[in-house]
Amino acid sequence: MLLDCVVVGGGPAGLNAALVLGRAKKKIILFDENKPRNAVTHESHGFITRDKIKPSEFKQIALEDLKAYPEITIKNQRVYDIKTENNHFVILTSDGLTYQSRKIILATGLKDILPNIKGIHDYYGTSIFSCPFCDGWELKDRPLVVISENERAFHITKMIYNWSKDVVVCTNGKAVFTNEQKQLLANNNIELIEEEIEYLEGDKGQLRHIILKSGREIARAGGFVTAGLQQASPLAQVLGCSLNNMGGIETDNSGRTNIAGVYACGDNAVIAPAQLIVAAAEGSKAAMAVVGDLVNEDF
Ligand SMILES: Cc1cc2nc3c(=O)[nH]c(=O)nc-3n(C[C@H](O)[C@H](O)[C@H](O)COP(=O)(O)OP(=O)(O)OC[C@H]3O[C@@H](n4cnc5c(N)ncnc54)[C@H](O)[C@@H]3O)c2cc1C
């Protein structure tokens, strides 16, 4: 059977794309291996009507919504490969089966690559985060650390200062600030620490101290890190989709990639701002583009 569309990825982008496609009577399968980027967090913020929701509960509600639409099938499988064949796509999944579809939506998300600092994974998603719009409120007015080894250090530090005036910045041995930026940090009483970090110390996900190589201990109640970002799936490259200089899949305003019939939405294309509500909206837009393109081809 030839499907109208295969959606790869069941985060907010893919789930909202599926909803729009199902409501447009399109026959689709959504494949999801269920390893979302925010799996490390207990609570999501900033999505109106869903503020403070558990990521697992958000997904459960979305899957319930999709049950109302009979043309939507959900499969908990990884898509391994997608090939182009005579004007349609052949999709290979982890159950060893192949599927055929006219259109593909990639909603595969991103992976965070954290700095190589002992202990950081124990606190990422519980007291160390990457996006102040997502988690700044929960850490407001507390003693915070910004950990950044790259050129985003100054920007993130300025942003975090909006939520707390008690901020230190650790570059873990890297020199990433200009003299002018250093002066601005000093003017705002932000200590810059360029020494290497030995490890992070705390308990049950709660950061308590930054321990530097020199043995100095800095008490902190939480912080933010500039993570490296990578496509969570190689499918965009496999299909020949162009990436932009931030590593996001290049699309037009409706999610169409440079490969005819392939659309991308959510974190994998947007990169920033990375939020559930943005991903869901982009999923909706990509699905509308798919429906519009199918209608134009068939009318
Ligand atoms: C620590 C942390 C905290 C955050 N907190 C918030 C917050 O409070 N509020 C907020 O709005 N945002 C928050 N975010 C951002 C939010 O998680 C992302 O913006 C959002 O998840 C992006 O949705 P998405 O659908 O693009 O990708 P994802 O949610 O990452 O979903 C992608 C899905 O695709 C699946 N997939 C990938 N490749 C394949 C494949 N080949 N086959 C099958 N399935 C595949 C993955 O397993 C995954 O289930 C946070 C992120 C992090 C890292």
Q: Give the model's confidence band at 75: pLDDT under 50 very low, under 70 low, under 90 confident, else very high.
A: very high
Quickly list H helices, 164-223.
179-187
pLDDT score, position 272: 87
Q: For residue 25, give every residue at least 6 positions away whose Cβ sits within 8 Å of its Cβ, in sequence order, or none.
A: 71
Tens digit of each residue's pLDDT (9 = 90 or more) over 188-201? 999 999 999 999 99
Atom of ligand 1 nearest to the CA of 125: 1
pLDDT score, position 110: 97
What is the residue with the minimal CA distance to atom 50 of ligand 1? 38
Tens digit of each residue's pLDDT (9 = 90 or more) over 104-141? 999 999 999 999 999 999 999 999 999 999 999 999 99
Ligand 1 pocket test target in 49, 108, 230 with most atoms within 8 Å of CB? 108
The domain made up of 115-225 is a member of CATH 3.30.70.270: no
Rounded percentage of the chain residues whose pLDDT exceeds 90: 98
Q: What is the mean pLDDT of the chain?
A: 97
In the chain, which residues fall in CATH 3.50.50.60? 2-111+229-298, 115-225
Atom of ligand 1 nearest to the CA of 267: 26
Q: Which of 237, 192, 243, 236 is nearest to 218 (CA)?
A: 192
Ligand 1 pocket test target in 15, 38, 121, 138 with most atoms within 8 Å of CB? 38
Q: Is 95 exposed, middle or buried (0-12, 13-18, 19+ CB in 10 A)?
A: exposed
Q: Which CATH class is domain 2-111+229-298?
A: alpha beta
